[in-house]
Amino acid sequence: MDATHRTAAPDADAVAKEVLRFLETKTKRSWEPEQDLFASGGLSSLFAMELVVHLEKSFGVAIRGADLRLDNFRTVQAMTALVLRLTDAATGSGGE
């Protein structure tokens, strides 16, 4: 399931907007960029995995190993930072 459609590095606003769109479609409610998604009454680990797969598919990144820390998926801001870091790594240094 490696990235297949890597495009130009997205900007933070575009990433945040897409993640919010996905969240709102899936959960049928609105979320703030800094809101904790997994706080009590929040979302499940199955949903966290859906987020992982969605980010990989939408932004052409591979989220592996230590990047699977739940903190990276806790808020829209955190997911945006993760995507930007992984796309930078992929387009910049030639790493995966």
Partner 1 sequence: MTEHAWDTVTGLIDGQADDWDRAGLLPVDLLRKLGADGRLCAQVPAEYGGRGLSSLENGEFTARVGSLCSSVRSVMTSQGMAAWTIERLGTAEQRAAWLPRLTGGELAAAGFSEPGAGSDLSAIATSIRRDGDSVVIDGRKVWVTAAHYADLLVVFGRYEDGAAAVVVPSDAPGVRVERVADPLGCRAAGHAGITLDSVRLPADAVLGGVGLSLPLLVTTALAYGRISVAWGCVGILRGCRTAAAQHASTREQFGKPLAEHQLVARHLAELLVAEQLATRVSEHASRCWDSGSPEQVMATVLAKHVSADQATRGAETALQVLASAGARDGHLVARAYRDAKLMKIIEGSHEMCQLMLAEHAVNGSI
Binding site for partner 1 (CB under 8 A): 1-2, 4, 22, 25-28, 43-54, 56-57, 64-66, 68-70, 96
Residue 8 Cβ vs partner 1, minimum distance, rounded to whole Å? 20
Instruction: State the Cα–Cα distance between residues 22 and 55, nearest whole angstrom.
Output: 10
Residue 72 Cβ vs partner 1, minimum distance, rounded to whole Å? 10
Tokens of 46: 């199955």
Residue 14 Cβ vs partner 1, minimum distance, rounded to whole Å? 19
Residue 6, sorted as left (phi over 0), alpha (psi -120 to 50) or beta, turns out to be beta
